[in-house]
């Protein structure tokens, strides 16, 4: 059985598949050459992340494919239902990267609350000549402890975000169309833990009550956060999107930041990837990362191992 990991897979995933008798190829094949490569090499399993798309034409043109695997959560780059109708298994790893994304959310929150994203740009330029000026500029940071974090989308990642928030003393409220309540287990040293029950609330209430908003929803046809929703938020609130590009109206976000309604934003995903809008990239009150939510060594190991386990279960 042949596996093409077109967007890469961790060594632990390769080792697990190889040990089970699979031939793993990690060559990155250009999208336009993918059909020919799959057919010439009789590929049984196609593994992708976000770079490669698997649409109806590829599925129809490659009858050897038995499994399409997505290393990560969202599968909007795969025609999932069509593939399944054609008898192709479609798998993903919804839990593997949750902690990594949650930690990135707090990297943005801490960095924005204390202006780290901006001071790290300006200290190398002016730290030796304008130290006192910079100190004054960044002297009005805020603490996260005691603040209210609103989580829009309370699935696996949203709940991991809640764990961290509770652990550092934040108040947590959440909204989700499909989740009514959830028990968050916050673990401590030596086996100790506490359970916190969180009942979800209407989104408008979460927007109005929160000091910070973080989004954990799948790709949508329409904006989840547009001008109307931004207007509902507290003056001086912050917002983080480490979910999907297009869930925030970036034009409305920039306007809200420039008016002072929103204090800052942290963005890991963008409406236009891989070429985000220059107005977003150059805004001095936006903390930026290039879609790296799941890009930790630990998450990639979990993703590779989980994909391998599912593949072996189906074809082994």
DSSP assignment string, 244-274:
-TTSB-HHHHHHHHHHTSEEEEEESS-SSSS
- Give me the residues of the chain with pLDDT under 70, please: none
| Same-domain pairing of 102 and 69 | no
Q: Is the peptide bond before 299 cis (omega within 30 degrees of 0)?
A: no
Total of domains in the chain: 2
Task: Give the model's pLDDT for residue 73.
Answer: 84
Range of the domain at 51: 2-94+297-315
Task: Give the model's pLDDT for residue 74.
Answer: 83
| Same-domain pairing of 69 and 107 | no
Q: Does the annotation mark 272 as catalytic?
A: yes
CATH code at 207? Answer: 3.40.50.720
Q: Does the annotation mark 291 as catalytic?
A: yes
| Same-domain pairing of 71 and 109 | no
Q: Which of 187, 272, 273, 298 is catalytic?
A: 272
Give the C-alpha separation, 157 to 98, whole Å.
Answer: 5
Task: Give the model's pLDDT for residue 120.
Answer: 95
| Same-domain pairing of 55 and 174 | no
Q: Which of 49, 244, 271, 306 is catalytic?
A: 244
Over the stretch 137-152, which tens digit does the pLDDT of each residue have? Answer: 999 999 999 999 999 9
Q: Does the annotation mark 244 as catalytic?
A: yes
Task: Give the model's pLDDT for residue 50.
Answer: 85
Task: Give the model's pLDDT for residue 191.
Answer: 94
Task: Give the model's pLDDT for residue 302.
Answer: 96
Strands 148-152 and 212-215: parallel
């Amino acid at each position: 059985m042949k596996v093409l990991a077109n967007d890469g897979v961790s060594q632990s995933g390769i080792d697990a598949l190889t040990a089970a008798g699979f031939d793993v190829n990690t060559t990155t094949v250009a999208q336009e050459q993918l059909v020919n490569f799959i057919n010439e090499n009789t590929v049984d399993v196609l593994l992708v992340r976000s770079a490669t798309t698997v649409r109806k034409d590829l599925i129809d043109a490659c009858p050897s494919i038995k499994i399409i695997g997505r290393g990560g959560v969202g599968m909007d780059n795969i025609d999932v239902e069509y593939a399944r109708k054609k008898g192709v298994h479609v798998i993903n790893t919804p839990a593997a990267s949750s902690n990594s994304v949650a930690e990135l959310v707090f990297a943005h929150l801490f960095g924005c609350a204390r202006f780290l994203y901006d001071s790290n740009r300006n200290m190398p330029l002016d730290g030796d000549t304008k130290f006192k000026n910079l100190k004054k500029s960044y002297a009005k940071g805020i603490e996260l402890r005691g603040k209210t974090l609103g989580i829009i989308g309370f699935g696996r990642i949203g709940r991991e975000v809640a764990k961290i928030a509770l652990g550092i003393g934040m108040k947590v409220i959440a909204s989700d169309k499909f989740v009514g309540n959830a028990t968050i287990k916050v673990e401590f040293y030596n086996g100790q833990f506490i359970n916190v029950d969180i009942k979800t609330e209407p989104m408008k209430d979460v927007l109005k009550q929160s000091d910070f908003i973080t989004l954990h929803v799948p790709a949508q046809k329409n904006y989840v956060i547009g001008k109307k929703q931004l207007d509902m938020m507290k003056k001086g609130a912050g917002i983080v999107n480490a979910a999907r590009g297009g869930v925030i109206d970036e034009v409305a976000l920039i306007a809200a930041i420039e008016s002072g309604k929103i204090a800052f934003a942290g963005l890991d995903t963008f409406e236009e990837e891989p070429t985000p809008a220059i107005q977003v990239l150059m805004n001095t009150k936006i903390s930026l990362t290039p879609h790296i939510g799941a890009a930790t060594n630990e998450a990639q190991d979990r993703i590779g191992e989980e994909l391998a386990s599912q593949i072996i279960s189906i074809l082994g």
